[in-house]
Amino acid sequence: MNPPRPTDAARARARMVERLRSQGIRDEKVLAAMAFIPRHQFVEKGLAFSAYDDSALPIGLQQTISQPFVVARMIELLRDGRELGKTLEIGAGCGYQAAVLSRVASEVYAVERLKLLLDRARENLRPLRLPNLRLKCGDGTLGLPEAAPFDTIIVAAGGSSVPPALKEQLAPGGKLLIPVGNDVDQRLLLIERQGNVFKEIWHDAVRFVPLLTGTE
């Protein structure tokens, strides 16, 4: 199956953005980023016509691309009237969320533990030529100490707890958003660093792939 034509893809993105509005996304900068990035270029060709549906899609290696609402919701929660600044993404996957982040953050560092998936992300991202986005293969639970501290950290995989390294790499006033829980009960946890105090607020129920250690 051929990918959608540019005009069809643009209309599909516009419909996706209107759906996001109806679902409660209000941040215009986030909506503009979602309207700009061609999600169909980040999924397998056979799934391209489903790229703008509000559903997660498989991207291989037992990984998924998050549904558009979850991507928009997580970034909106992290912005909340502030600039994202230097941002670390854990779980780059196919590169889609990193691309969206690059439109709303000054710098984006995206870490992926699966080298084959990171290679695909690089291929997906190359046509967009995003100068403020850097990719690295690494263990996301360790963060990216050589580029820390970060104003924003967003985690696209769920764990039973928050990796200490991620909290340590938050800049003062920085925010971290991570899915925390188990296979049946997982919620978004927003953490804000206030000096050496970490304020926690729980948000939406979600379902993400597991946050694993090591690289492959």
Q: What is the pLDDT along the chain (216 residues), one digit of tens a residue?
A: 455 666 788 899 999 999 999 999 999 999 999 999 999 999 988 888 899 999 999 898 888 899 999 999 999 999 999 999 999 999 999 999 999 999 999 999 999 999 999 999 999 999 999 999 999 999 999 999 999 999 999 999 999 999 999 999 999 999 999 999 988 899 999 999 999 999 999 999 999 999 999 999
Residue 29: CATH number of its domain: 3.40.50.150
User: Is 210 within the bounds of a domain?
Assistant: no
User: Is 214 within the bounds of a domain?
Assistant: no
User: Is 211 within the bounds of a domain?
Assistant: no
Q: How many domains does the chain have?
A: 1
User: Is 56 within the bounds of a domain?
Assistant: yes
Provide the domain limits for residue 131: 6-205
User: Is 178 within the bounds of a domain?
Assistant: yes
State the pLDDT at residue 5.
66
Using alpha carbons, select from 74, 65, 64, 66 the residue that is nearest to residue 30: 74
Interacting residues of 88 by C-beta distance below 8 A, sequence separation 6+ = 108, 109, 110, 111, 143, 144, 147, 148, 150, 152, 153, 154, 169
- Model confidence, pTM: 0.94
Average pLDDT, the chain: 94
106-122, pLDDT tens digit by residue? 999 999 999 999 999 99
User: Is 185 within the bounds of a domain?
Assistant: yes
User: Is 1 within the bounds of a domain?
Assistant: no
Q: Which residues are catalytic?
A: 66
CB 157 within 8 A of CB 90: yes
User: Is 215 within the bounds of a domain?
Assistant: no
